[in-house]
Amino acid sequence: MLDSNQLIEINKKKISEHQRNWSFLKESLTNKGVDVEDLIQKISDFQIAIPSWALGTGGTRFGRFPLGGEPSTLEDKVKDVGILHALNKSSGAISLHIPWDVPQDFDSIRKIAADLGLKFDAVNSNTFQDQPNSIHSYKFGSLCHADKTVRAAAIQHNKEVIDLGIKLGSKALTVWLADGTSFAGQHNFREAFQRTLDSLKEIYTHLPDDWKLLIEYKPYEPNFYSMVIPDWGTSHLLASKLGEKAATLVDLGHHLPNTNIEQIVALLMHLNKLGGFHFNDSKYGDDDLSVGSLKPYQLFLIFCELVQGMKETDNGELSWMIDASHNLKDPMEDLLQSIASIKISFAKALLVDYKKLKVAQKTNDVSACQAILQDAFNMDVRSLVSESCYGLGGAIDPLEAYRSLEIRKGLIEERGLDSKSTGL
């Protein structure tokens, strides 16, 4: 689908402008004593998984406005992630949502992915919807359900997702529970929590030694009075009780407005209990907006904690994934923009002078603390991100390349205007 010769031609048009910008930035970074090669390496190594359900147009409960050429099979979804990765060199993984995307032929899907340079990241279970012909309903919860047979079905589903992930080379199961209540009195909180813990314990026994169980939290939606795992504290409590292989997953859209997410990240890493990250942006709640489109400074502050945590704590490797729905924009364009924002924030966070910051913190020099952070935040690092991508054979400007190559037009020609993606 993506012709590399065409990409070279497109890059040629951008190269002189890029080189001008990059040599200016490179010189100023070198003058500051920054190890530019190391910086580029870190940015180049950073890979963010694309969820299999994000390649199609998302919808709200009021409507959905597809734009055509959507991938209707898992093969096509993997191919679309391959296009993104060829352009930005940072989308080298795909995260499957089960049962939306159950592979029919494991060998062939693994081969398609490997040929495109893609790995299978965490697998996600789904007990927030009833599947066609299922005997049990998750209407009143899954792992927390009062009925043992419903809990057993949900546990079994999670075990099957692990088995499926093993065949693909995944190393983590992500569990997000919609379990909760919309009316006061609907649950006995203590019993619902205990049942959830017991169910998770059973799933945990099925986890291979080199796997992680990532537990998401969310304060509200689809339930509006209580959620069984509403916050990072509850997720952490469960993960601690389960054991070493369990950790908390932070989804940027799963907090009440004004929550200090960077502090949550710092503390979880301090406890070696941050397992993964779902990127999006939000104004109110789980808005599913493009990463960095509303609060780039918050994203930068979160990355500052991630960068420090990765250096100064024993917290293990993290699973990174975009978790956003694309209702208005072409999903592929939205994903390219989101990844670009992530890389920009990561690069800026790598440029913070943390030694100087520690001194300023110790001496309570508040103005200096702010200035040190903002010094890095206010730098224009776009040419640095472009340089890392270009150096790997990607596009200098992935979004512009996507448009110049008329990828969506090609996908519509190939798959038609009506092809629909599974997912939300």
Residues near ligand RM4, by CB under 6 A? 97, 124, 176, 216, 218, 251, 278, 286, 323, 424
Query: Which string of DSSP letters, residue by residue, matches 196-209?
Result: HHHHHHHHHHTS-T
* Continuous H helices in 126-230: 148-168, 189-205
Residues 6+ positions from 148 with CB-CB distance below 8 Å: none
d(CA 287, CA 405): 30
Distance of CA 362 to the CA centre of its chain: 34
Contact between 251 and Mn ion (CB under 5 A)? Answer: yes
Collapsing DSSP states into helix, strand and coil, what is residue 123? strand
d(CA 177, CA 253): 15
The β-bridge partners of 277 are 250, 320
Select the residue whose beta carbon is closest to ligand RM4 and give its number.
176
The least CB distance from residue 176 to Mn ion, in Å, is 6
Question: Closest CB to ligand RM4 among 177 and 376?
Answer: 177
The least CB distance from residue 124 to ligand RM4, in Å, is 5
Question: Closest CB to ligand RM4 among 160 and 375?
Answer: 160
Q: Which does 315 bind (CB under 5 to 8 A by kind): Mn ion, ligand RM4, none?
A: none
Query: Which string of DSSP letters, residue by residue, matches 31-63?
Result: HTT--HHHHHHHHHH---BEEGGGSS--EETTE
Contact between 323 and Mn ion (CB under 5 A)? Answer: yes
Q: Which does 397 bind (CB under 5 to 8 A by kind): ligand RM4, Mn ion, none?
A: none
Distance of CA 40 to the CA centre of its chain: 21
Contact between 326 and Mn ion (CB under 5 A)? Answer: no
Q: Which does 424 bind (CB under 5 to 8 A by kind): Mn ion, ligand RM4, none?
A: ligand RM4
Contact between 281 and Mn ion (CB under 5 A)? Answer: no
In 3-state terms the chain splits into helix, strand, coil percentages (rounded to 5) of 50, 10, 40
Question: Closest CB to ligand RM4 among 97 and 136?
Answer: 97
Question: Closest CB to ligand RM4 among 22 and 211?
Answer: 211
d(CA 91, CA 93): 6
Residues 197-236 vs Mn ion: string with x where CB under 5 A?
----------------------------------------
The least CB distance from residue 221 to ligand RM4, in Å, is 7
